Structure 1
Amino acid sequence: MNDKNEKLEAKVSLELNSLMKSSNISRKNKIVNIKRLENDTADISNSKNRRRKRKPKVKLLEATSPIKTINSSNVYDFSYNIFPVWNNKQYGQFFRKRSKTFKYIGLKTFLTLKKATYIFETRLESLSKILQNLTLNDSSTTKIAENKSPNKLRKLSESENHAKKVNKSIKVKHQKSSQETQTESPLKKRRYKFKKLKSKPEDSKKKVLEFPSKCTAEEAKIGEENGELLRGFLRVNPKNPDDSYVSNINSSLPDYRITSLADRNGALDGDEVLLKMKPETEKEDGKKAAVVVYILKKLHPCIAVGTLKLKNQGTYAEFVPRDKRIPVMRIPEVSWPVIYKTNPTACANILFLAKLVEWSKPYVAIGVIIDTIGMTGDLRVETQSILKEFCLDVSPFSAEMLEHLPKSKEISVEEVALREDVRKECVFTIDPLTARDLDDAVSVKELPNGHYEIGVHISDASYYLTEGTSLDEFVSSKATTIYLVDQVYHMLPLDLCLHCSLLPGEDKLAFSVFWEMNEEGEIFDSRFTRTVINSCAQLAYEHAQQMIDDPNKVFKDEKLPRILNGFTAKDLSKTVNILQKIAVNLREARMKNGSLRIDQVKLLFSLNPGTGEPEDFIVYENKEAHRLIEEFMLLANISVAKQISETYPDIAFLRCHEPPKNTMLLETQACLETCGIHIDISSSGSINSGIRKYITDDYQGICRGIVLNHIFAKPMTRARYFCSGTMEDFSHYALSVPIYTHFTSPIRRYADIMVHRLLAASLGYSHKPNWDMDFVTKIAANCNAQKLNAKRAGEASSDLYLAHYIENHQPYVQDCVVVEVRERSFDAIVLQTGSVVRIHLNTCQGKPSWILNSIPLPTPMSEKQGFKKVYKLTILYPKTKTYPEETKIIVEMFTIVKVELKRIPNSNKLEASLLRPIPSIIFKSLKN
């Protein structure tokens, strides 16, 4: 080995000597030109770009000794280490090592020995002695970075329009005075000169250090009036804060895209903003690029849950939110929690609640810590963090509020006299098995003309919740009951919930809707009235489903809940089946009218009573019994909406669902057509029938249905409450009805309380509410926000418990169906849980290779519309001892793959690794 090294040293020395002698050396100015040795046309900036894309693999020679050049008057004495790299010019052209000790100086100076490329490396102290001045054929200069940052030795000037490329020839000046070199710090007062080149457009991915200038309030008003500025609500990509959107008023056109954190201009997700369009040349994927110039309403609460870590040698703490849409915040020492001040490193896994107080620069946000939540991974702590993150108020009701609760459970004789008495009718509830808030009950009465009187009876909670009291105001602010996996946080005080709940055997006040209809679901008459009821049974969906499955089944007493008021299981079964026949016909008519149903997976967990950990879960099934109740609740909501809208056209509290973005539907349609799925998107009804056409009972058909439901849910807008006086179009897209509201759940939704008050006034039970449009709009906006937050909290709670369950049941292998193939990954839905996971190449078992092919979209306007690209992925697995044959799988939409799921540490999210499919040859060997 020593002989080999000596030969290599000798050859390299000869190359170096010839290099130095052949260089343009002058005794007068002692300039060494070490330009050389290959025909090199690429400049440094291009090399830097290549280096970002792919890091060269460097291999160190064994025990290579330092090599010295000939010490002459015009050649500086200088030590090199020589490293071989792959024989590829683009890797040899420009190297630098990110180290404080060593620095590559192979600026296009490399040797070719035995068809291998070598680069020079030297210590910084040696390099600095000869690099007193670095001249690049121009007068532009820049300061050398400090010694502690060697990566900035050749730092470009930060001034605008400075050169981004350097000249190919490098001239190194050697100072005559060696004494100066020894006494002065070699890295101080050094200036590099770069060749000035034509400026090029700024890289959109480069971090911008300042926000764009904002409009004044007056400028914003004028700009919006003359059409220069556009109004909208900001939507931030939860996985990429640099990617934001604002909906285009014209649904046939793509949304406006905001392509950087800086262009958000301090706006957060959900804020109402004014936009200014960028030039057409700056379009992104066919979408018009825009910048926020004014924030009309800051609707985001500016709080986040996250962790703390020290930064900048402890001068400040950095708060990293779990929600990537919120910027990383600098926390000043004055706001550090006591536990963090005493031992910062011990707080790495502690969750804190922070508030954003200032965001004056894109990457410099200032925040304060407002609460210490607890350790990550603890289920109770994580649940509290979910409630805080979504700004859900679960504080208890004060004693003063509870003073407004009813003093007695008894209903006065006077009140009963004012109501229709249906206590002797066969009225009962059908709810989930563990339900406590029993809002609704149903009844059926046969009429002499052969028709039926169908009754829906809703708890009259508004009767007990007096408007304008402190209790009413607090309930109004909460707006909804919060359902988490381990706990329910009621909108109303628990005593009032139980008082209003339609429990069997108890007299209860209700608001009832009656329809006269036949078995086909034709409605001949309807009426609304306040009633007093007494439920004869509390059925679960499971009980009602058994009655539907076998109408003639004889139930034993222990198989059903207790039945009261002289009724029997046979009476209940008869009523359920009459309701079922009518409900089926109502649903068919609704679907023919264009109703759309998109099903999402919902999980139900069983928890360990001692530890609270999830022991098992099931997927919630929407069976006929669920759809029976749903159909009559929809009918009640539609009927009440018509009543209050006709009576109070300006202040009716309604609910609408706007059509989806047409561009997103077109994009979805185009993507599906590449897989042979053709769905008409002209209406909600055509989408629904198209989806149902491709869902079959076999495994492939079930998977197809899961994908179709998922991808058509994305373009859909959120339904919302509104004041009738502020809008002209009241229609509900998914239900395909002209008017709709929420009436059937007043125990858990404040919107229903508002509707009950309007309905009572419309029937003469009370005075007209003293409301104006602004008041109703304000209540509607709060109900929308709280409903969304409660929904997201429920989903986050489900994700939390699922992550814990999977962590405790390793290895956890499941089938997934692919929904989208991307450039460097693909997304798939876990069939058993409904979770969407992203699978990357580096997480695939067996280290396969990926071959990506772009599939042309069939729509001619797809490129102009800015549709995303569709890909087909080929995954190749090499031969191994276990797998004697190569394996190839094609991954595209609807492909079924097998993955192993794990919980991401200190997170409630899942990561997935693709498992190699087992070929038939191995199955045969296993059988043998």
Structure 2
Amino acid sequence: MFWKLIFGQLFVVSRKNFAHRTYPYISNSKNRRRKRKPKVKLLEATSPIKTINSSNVYDFSYNIFPVWNNKQYGQFFRKRSKTFKYIGLKTFLTLKKATYIFETRLESLSKILQNLTLNDSSTTKIAENKSPNKLRKLSESENHAKKVNKSIKVKHQKSSQETQTESPLKKRRYKFKKLKSKPEDSKKKVLEFPSKCTAEEAKIGEENGELLRGFLRVNPKNPDDSYVSNINSSLPDYRITSLADRNGALDGDEVLLKMKPETEKEDGKKAAVVVYILKKLHPCIAVGTLKLKNQGTYAEFVPRDKRIPVMRIPEVSWPVIYKTNPTACANILFLAKLVEWSKPYVAIGVIIDTIGMTGDLRVETQSILKEFCLDVSPFSAEMLEHLPKSKEISVEEVALREDVRKECVFTIDPLTARDLDDAVSVKELPNGHYEIGVHISDASYYLTEGTSLDEFVSSKATTIYLVDQVYHMLPLDLCLHCSLLPGEDKLAFSVFWEMNEEGEIFDSRFTRTVINSCAQLAYEHAQQMIDDPNKVFKDEKLPRILNGFTAKDLSKTVNILQKIAVNLREARMKNGSLRIDQVKLLFSLNPGTGEPEDFIVYENKEAHRLIEEFMLLANISVAKQISETYPDIAFLRCHEPPKNTMLLETQACLETCGIHIDISSSGSINSGIRKYITDDYQGICRGIVLNHIFAKPMTRARYFCSGTMEDFSHYALSVPIYTHFTSPIRRYADIMVHRLLAASLGYSHKPNWDMDFVTKIAANCNAQKLNAKRAGEASSDLYLAHYIENHQPYVQDCVVVEVRERSFDAIVLQTGSVVRIHLNTCQGKPSWILNSIPLPTPMSEKQGFKKVYKLTILYPKTKTYPEETKIIVEMFTIVKVELKRIPNSNKLEASLLRPIPSIIFKSLKN
């Protein structure tokens, strides 16, 4: 049971068998502004007590008094830039003409009140054999105080008519909405984990089909809501409906499930319980803050990630700074490790690091790295001993490679890029065809397998890109040595294709080369050449061009590549390739403070797609080569099809808005999305929503060992085989592929690898790539939150993606952020009318599809707005919101702004 003070009302909300009730809290607004004690009216409920196994019936009264000077349990919360004192409680109970007072903490009070039930007549009952034992009689002074307070006590009204007559709220202009009553069969809070099976029982249960294997996915906004994928993609996932049924498993852990009875289905999804944890894949660490609990006997660690349980931290684990002054550490971020989780709501942890104050950009960045377990420690002196002693390429090595230093080879990368992995070239052949070359830095040549440096790089697996900094996978000296900088001889691994302008491939080959790039073009330079092939560039408009080539040579080469790339892309799309675009922000930072000053949305233009097309072709070609040579240990990358049930649900939701998309294949989804994207404002918004909702059902692409799987296909690219070859400076997966390719061409011996070794490397690359991606997104969210905080008021257009029962989600068009808008954050206190829209799919109810809602928001007349305003909110509706940063977090909150009627807008313009 908990209490909230919201807009002049005291809400009593029970987690158990209580119905939701609203009790009036009357206060004088002037007194509240002057911080005086407001007048309070109290509730008394009287009813007979029915005892179990007894015929005795007793009268009693149950009163609840706010306590305004409760320093021990008082808490503060912020509402609309005002700070209020959270109400502490003393509870009085009269039994058999004797009055008692609860001497318990709020947590205990909640447990005691579980035995009270409000029925439809608002009467109160308590079972005598369950009466609380922590009661004492009131002292004379407390009895006197109770009699004094009796004058302001409100008697319980049985008749709704009498209540309306006597209610002091009638004269007030505010209208308050009662909360929905909870159903009688609402779930109770389970205080114990269900029993787990032994390892032997788990093995037998999985073999006979009673137990199912899968990976746990926990809802980041609701830890009671978890899922495990169904092996049959045509069926809904298994749902775990409580924290207790997770049985101590964390997000990402590999678990065994036991199905619950069919009667316990949740929203059409089979309910299950975790009975065994096969692999604890979650690192069990979290970033959060500390709060003192139980009169200082222990501290409570509250993780920022809601998927991780709140932990009790024993005093022996408190940092020195916290022991000295706990109050001053309220806004300090700590790193904690979960060490024991024996009960659903009792987890034990230890503090392993003190990070720093919330809100500080450097501290927040460090917390991101620690939260995602990313190792950014420097390379040791022993590791650096394995770097090449000389930057010069030996004559012997040049003789072993194909020399293309005289060809027009150049790079196209972002303007500020330092890791130049790839270069391109075009050579006209006598038969009218072209020899297209993709040249990738031969980083594997310098990274000797099996050394301490190689093992450390293998564990890091990827370069980490944050807003303010880049943490390289390789030592910086080696990155620069391998980077294909212009005017320097570099070792490369090259793929050549003979093809015509239409993109038809007649031949391909792989070879080690030595190259010398003639220019380092940015995407902006290449785009200018594509936009105007005949443009004459001045020297100062382009970077320096070397090796005797001119801007005209580069422009000609870029446009040949562009024509071929367009044809390759068209062929790929016809073959069923799917492209889902996501918004990416680029920030400009203040050099002194590091604060974000501005940002732009990363644009994917033709120059980007040109390079992307040839990199995809190189990856596909190399994947075929290494899988044919080493069918058991090829290091490949696959993308499994999305869950069919999720696609059907998405399709059904879109059909309610008149959008019909064929979901039978990746190609049909792609063409369906493109059909509804137009150049006008509505079309752009529609495209943003479609890209967002179709990204949700998609699975993550992953690395794997070819000997462990039969299906190598990549769903989004619609190709039978794929790998990563083109970025060895920033991905260890590409290093593995380079070693296999070198061995397949006879440049080195066959790697002494088995399937277990390749699978282990692939698993680590998958985990580190995901963590680095999430860290990059968190870093972007951090800087965006700071930017918005520094540029208030920040008002933007949003497009609605989903309407819920008490809120709706929308995408901020300028930033791509998804925000949730609640009723109590709407400007002008409107009323909401919610209507459920029937889904057109007949099987939607059996499949457990979520409901689709249409929301009507009504704004009342005011002095400023002489007319009522109505908004219909559904998918694709465009609304205007004000964004703010949530204090002590990197998340955003949004409040819906009232539309300005045309009559007012015209008067403002005049």
Aligned residues of 2:45 and 2:63 also touching (Cα < 8 A): no
Question: Is the partner of 2:82 in helix, strand or coil?
Answer: coil
Query: Closer, same or farther in 2 for the Cα pair 1:870/1:424, shift >3 Å?
Result: same
Q: Which residue of 2 aligns with 1:205?
A: 187
Alignment CA distance shift 1:399-1:850 (3 Å): same
Superposition RMSD in Å: 11.4
Deviations along 1:401-451, one digit per CA (max 9) or x if unpaired, are 000000000000000000000000000000000000000000000000000
Give SS of 1:702's match: helix
SS of 1:193 mapped into structure 2: coil
Q: Distance in 2 between matches of 1:803 and 1:770?
A: 49
How far is 1:675 from its partner? 0.1
Question: Which residue of structure 1 aligns with residue 387 of structure 2?
Answer: 405
CA displacement at 1:925 relative to structure 2: 1.6
SS at match of 1:188: helix
Residues 285 and 557 of structure 1: CA distance in aligned 2, closer, same or farther (over 3 Å): same
- CA gap of 1:522–1:198, structure 2 versus 1, over 3 A, is closer
The offset of 1:51, in angstroms, is 29
Report how far residue 270 of structure 1 moved: 0.2
Quote how far apart the aligned CAs of 1:516 are: 0.1
CA drift at 1:107? 20
CA pair 365-16 structure 1, distance change in 2 beyond 3 A: closer
Alignment partners' CA distance in 1, 2:15 and 2:630: 99
Change (3 A) 1:166 1:673: farther
How much does 1:206 deviate?
1.8
Deviation at 1:926, TM superposition (A): 2.0
8 A contact 1:758–1:768 mirrored in 2: yes
Q: Residue 50 of structure 2 contacts residue 58 of structure 2 at CA under 8 Å; is this kept in 1?
A: no
SS for the counterpart of 1:833 is coil
Q: Distance in 1 between matches of 2:246 and 2:142?
A: 23
Deviation string 1:656-705 (CA, Å, 9 cap, x unpaired) is 00000000000000000000000000000000000000000000000000
Q: What is the alpha-carbon distance in structure 1 between the residues aligned to residue 463 and residue 508 of structure 2?
A: 30
Equivalent pair of 1:84/1:118 in contact (CA under 8 Å) = no
Describe the superposition over 1:499-530 as per-residue Cα deviations: whole angstroms up to 9, x where unpaired. 00000000000000000000000000000000
Cα distance between partner residues in 1 of 2:664 and 2:809: 27
Offset, 1:198: 25
Q: 1:300-319: CA deviations, max 9, x gaps? A: 00000000010011000000
- Please report how far the alpha carbon of residue 59 of structure 1 lies from its aligned counterpart in structure 2 after TM superposition: 5.4
Contact 1:818–1:895 at 8 Å: present in 2 too? yes
Structure 1 range deviating more: 52-61 or 289-298: 52-61
CA–CA separation in structure 1 for the residues paired with 2:777 and 2:432: 46
- d(CA) in 1 for partners of 2:82 and 2:271? 41
1:577-623 per-position Cα deviation (integer Å, ceiling 9, x unaligned)? 00000000000000000000000000000000000000000000000
Q: CA deviation at 1:358?
A: 0.5
Quote the Cα distance in structure 2 between the aligned partners of 1:365 and 1:686: 48
Deviation at 1:924, TM superposition (A): 2.2
Question: Using the alignment, how far apart are the partners of 2:393 and 2:432 within structure 1?
Answer: 35
On the 8 A contact 2:357/2:363 being kept in 1, the answer is yes
Q: Deviations over 1:785-807 (max 9, x none)?
A: 00000000000000000000000
Quick one: distance in 1 between partners of 2:704 and 2:215? 17
Are the aligned partners of 2:117 and 2:126 in contact in 1 as well (CA < 8 Å)? no
Task: After TM superposition, give the deviation of residue 382 of structure 1 in Å.
Answer: 0.1
The residue aligned with 1:812 is 794
- Measure the CA separation in 1 of the matches of 2:414 and 2:76: 68
Between stretches 106-115 and 649-658, larger displacement belongs to 106-115
| Alignment CA distance shift 1:720-1:555 (3 Å) | same
Q: Helix, strand or coil for the counterpart of 1:132? A: helix
- Cross-structure match for 2:21: none
Q: Any conservation in 2 of the 1:423–1:532 contact (CA below 8 Å)?
A: yes
Deviations 1:76-128 (A, max 9, x none): 99999999999999999999999999999999999999999999999999999
Provide, for residues 510-553 of structure 1, a one-character-per-residue CA deviation record: whole Å limited to 9, x for no partner.
00000000000000000000000000000000000000000000
Question: Aligned pair 1:390/2:381, yes or no?
Answer: no
SS in 1 for 2:721: coil
> Kindly tell me: are residues 82 and 562 of structure 1, through their superposed partners in 2, closer, same or farther at Cα, counting changes over 3 Å?
closer
Q: Aligned partners of 1:128, 1:517: CA distance in 2, in Å?
A: 75
Contact 2:50 / 2:128 at 8 angstroms: preserved in 1?
no
Asked if 2 retains the 8 angstrom alpha-carbon contact of 1:508 and 1:533, the reply is yes
TM-aligned CA deviation for residue 746 of structure 1? 0.0
Aligned partners of 1:57 and 1:85 also within 8 Å: no
Alpha-carbon distance between aligned partners in 2 of 1:19 and 1:648, rounded to the nearest angstrom: 70
Q: Deviation of residue 338 (structure 1)?
A: 0.1
Change (3 A) 1:426 1:840: same
SS of the equivalent of 2:151 reads coil
> How far off its partner does 1:54 sit?
27
**Structure 2 contact 712–722 (Cα < 8 Å) conserved:** yes
Alpha-carbon shift at residue 143 of structure 1 (Å): 14
| SS at structure 2 position matched to 1:287 | coil
Provide the residue aligned with 1:67 in structure 2: 49
Inter-partner Cα distance in structure 1 for 2:196 and 2:512? 55
TM-superposition CA deviations, 1:192-247 (whole Å, max 9, x none): 99999999999563211110000100000000000000000000000000000000
Structure 1 gap ranges (5+)? 1-12, 30-43
Q: Quote how far apart the aligned CAs of 1:923 are.
A: 1.7
Aligned length, in residue pairs: 898
1:191 CA displacement: 45
Indicate conservation of the 8 Å contact 2:40/2:152, yes or no. no
Worse-superposed segment, 64-73 or 534-543:
64-73
Contact preservation (8 Å) 2:64, 2:92: no
User: Retained in 2: the 8 A contact 1:134–1:171?
Assistant: no
The 8 Å contact of residues 140 and 196 in structure 1, kept in 2 or not, is answered as no
Cα deviations by residue, 1:261-307 (Å, 9 ceiling, x for unpaired)? 00000000000000000000000000000000000000000000000
**8 Å CA contact retained: 1:156, 1:164:** no
Structure 1 runs (4+) greater than 2 angstroms displaced? 13-20, 25-29, 44-205
Partner Cα separation in structure 2 for residue 447 and residue 853 of structure 1: 67
**Structure 2 Cα separation of the partners of residues 387 and 753 of structure 1:** 24
Classify 1:100/1:721 alpha carbon distance in 2 versus 1 (closer, same or farther; 3 Å).
Answer: closer
Match of 1:523 in 2: 505
Q: Which residue of the other structure, out of 19, 22, 37, is the alignment partner of 2:10?
A: 19
> If the length of structure 2 is used for normalisation, what is the TM-score?
0.83
182 and 804 in structure 1: CA distance in 2 versus 1, 3 angstrom threshold: closer
Cα pair distance change 1:837/1:152, threshold 3 Å: farther
Name the SS of the counterpart of 1:514 in structure 2: strand
Q: Give the Cα separation in 1 of the matches to 2:825 and 2:109.
A: 42
Check 1:878–1:400 CA distance in 2 against 1; reply closer, same or farther (3 A cut).
same
Q: CA deviation at 1:374?
A: 0.2
- Deviation, 1:250, is 0.3
- Alpha-carbon spacing, 1:431–1:153, altered in 2? closer, same or farther (3 Å): same
Per the TM alignment, residue 927 of structure 1 is displaced from its structure 2 partner at its CA by: 3.2
User: Residue 49 of structure 2 contacts residue 128 of structure 2 at CA under 8 Å; is this kept in 1?
Assistant: no
Change (3 A) 1:77 1:568: closer
Contact 2:494 2:513 in 1 (8 A): yes
TM-score, with length taken from structure 1: 0.82
Cα separation, 2, equivalents of 1:190 and 1:884: 20
Distance 2:96 2:7 in 1: 16
CA contact (8 A) 1:239 1:324 kept: yes
Distance 1:654 1:358 in 2: 38
Quickly say closer, same or farther: Cα 1:221–1:881, change in 2 above 3 A.
same
Alpha-carbon spacing, 1:334–1:689, altered in 2? closer, same or farther (3 Å): same
List per-residue Cα deviations over 1:688-741 (Å, max 9, x = no partner). Answer: 000000000000000000000000000000000000000000000000000000
Residues 748 and 170 (structure 1), Cα distance of their counterparts in 2 relative to 1, 3 Å cut: closer
- Mapped contact 1:349–1:906 kept (Cα < 8 A): yes
Task: Give the distance between the partners of 1:467 and 1:803, measured in 2 at CA.
Answer: 43
Distance in structure 2 (CA, Å) of the matches to 1:179 and 1:151: 38
- Which of 35, 40, 49 aligns to 1:58? It is 40
- In 1: Cα distance, 2:728 partner to 2:14 partner: 94
Separation (CA, whole Å) in 2 of partners of 1:709 and 1:27: 38
- Tell me the secondary structure at the aligned position of residue 263 of structure 2: helix
Question: Does residue 1:655 correspond to 2:637, yes or no?
Answer: yes
User: 1:131-166: CA deviations, max 9, x gaps?
Assistant: 999999999999999999999879999999999999
Contact persistence 2:491–2:515 (CA under 8 A): yes
Larger radius of gyration: 1
1:365/1:186 Cα in 2 relative to 1: closer, same or farther (>3 Å)?
farther
Aligned to 1:369: 351
Contact 1:816 1:831 in 2 (8 A): yes
The whole-number CA distance in structure 2 between the counterparts of 1:914 and 1:274 is 44
Cα–Cα, structure 1 residues 343 and 173, in superposed 2: closer, same or farther, change >3 Å? closer
Distance 2:864 2:394 in 1: 80
